Amino acid sequence: MNCVYTPIAGDFDFVGDFSDGLAFVRNREKKCGYIDKLGEIVIPLEYACEANCRFVSPQFCEGFAALFKNGKAGFVDKFGNVAVDFQYDYADGFRDGLCVVRKGNLHGAINTCGELVVPFEYDMLHSFCEDLAPAIKSGQTGYINKNGGIAIPFAYDYAPELNSQFSEGFALVESNGCKGYIDKRGEVAIPFGLEYDEAQSFHKGLAAVVTGIRADVTSKQGESSDEFRRRIDDARRHQRWGMIDRAGNVAIPVEYERICYTAHGVSAINADTQHFYNENGDFMFAMDYDYVGHFFSGLSTAKKGNMRCFINEVGEIEFSLPEGFDDVGSFFDGYAAVSVGEKYGFIDKAGNITVPVEYDSVSRFRDNAAVVKRDNKWGILKLLL
């Protein structure tokens, strides 16, 4: 790998991934700002990402980042200018030109000019997807449009565990305790009474459904990656995943411990067998690894006995991993993090070690740059393209 190392000056306790050329930084006094790929501070550390037990995501969305100042939320742009005054008790990220904000206990939405588009009259308001946003009022769920008008009446149950945003023209809602899907006119698309413990949004014409206990995917403090994986695997033994189509029919049997989308369809995974389906739900082929991870950048880790490798989305082995690695991550920008003991480095898509395994921590490569830490000193690895 041709890359250059740049030290980051400053006493930071956290440095995030790069996104759109900037990385979020936080000092030991919990003040936040941003640096560029030269390690220079471009947005001063005069903000916070937590206030009143509420957190905002410091990632830039559509050119703006939500931050707190003096206990109130507002937005800065990539040049450090205050784009929206710090006046809200909470702010989400911008999506489709609008952002959900809260004052007191009521939610509304603003545009990128800071103008109030949706008035503060909702108990809960989610982000806009496909021009509509689910809103909660007086314990009922309905949908509003980008002008703040009611597009679908407030006639559904408040079900916080559901993702009720629209995707591919359908939204999952609950009525009288029964799940179903509606279209953007508010008409029933898949009748209520789906007999699943959980259902998800549609993607490429299919929606994942599950029966049984959902796995807690939150890593616990002090938990190793192997302990985390064993706990998740144990929880998955008590649940089964499958897929339904847009008519509500079972497209992929509800008999798998895990479901993952790929570029070519769906991988359906059990402890010792992996089945691959196309986007129509037609069976394509099977594999028998002990473990297959999620696909990123077209590749997934796989393990059989002592052999570990990366496979592509048609089940072919791209390369085998040399012995000695304790863990390996997913590929981002063509590189994956690997660890030996408590040290980290990177490999490329041929399995070659491209960054020595000598760092105490590494981020994933984003925008052709990764943040690394060694001997309590932060630095930046930037690819030379």
Tell me the average confidence (pLDDT) per consecutive run of 10 residues in the chain, 385 residues long: 86 91 93 95 94 85 94 95 96 93 96 95 95 96 95 94 93 94 97 91 94 66 76 74 94 90 82 84 87 82 87 87 86 92 92 92 93 95 84
Distance CA(356)–CA(176), nearest Å, equals 58
In the chain, the amino acid numbered 117 is V
The span from the CA of 80 to the CA of 42, in Å, is 7
- For tokens 């006119």, name the residue: 185
pLDDT value of residue 236 = 64
* Residue 296 DSSP code: B
- Three-state DSSP state, 159: coil
What count of other Cβ atoms lies within 10 Å of the Cβ of residue 314?
12
DSSP conformational letter for 234: H
Q: Which two tokens stand for residue 176?
A: 């009288």
CB-CB contact of 302 with 312 (8 Å)? no
Supply the pLDDT for residue 294. Answer: 79
Residue 217: predicted pLDDT = 57
- Per DSSP, 63 falls in state T
Nearest to 375 by CA among 364, 362, 360, 363: 360
pLDDT at 117: 95
Is the separation of the CB atoms in 75 and 66 below 8 Å? yes
CA–CA separation, 161 and 170 (whole Å): 17
- Residue 385 CA to residue 6 CA, distance in Å, equals 16
Distance of CA 200 to the CA centre of its chain: 15
**Residue 214: per-residue pLDDT:** 58
Domain segments of the chain: what residues? 1-90+361-385
Instruction: Give pLDDT, residue 219.
Output: 63
Exposure string for 329-366, b = 16+ CB within 10 A, e = fewer? bbbbbebbbbbeeebbbbbebebeebbebebeebbbbb
Contact, 104 vs 121, CB < 8 A? no
How far is 52 from 104, CA to CA, in rounded Å? 12
pLDDT for residue 10:
87
Q: Phi and psi at residue 98, in whole multiples of 5°?
A: -125, 155
CB 5 within 8 A of CB 376: no
**What integer pLDDT is reported at residue 234 of this predicted model?**
72
Query: Quick one: pLDDT at residue 383?
Result: 86
Cα 104 → chain centroid:
28
Query: Which pLDDT value is given to residue 212?
Result: 82
Q: Which residues are CB-neighbours of 228 under 8 A, at least 6 positions away?
A: 219, 220
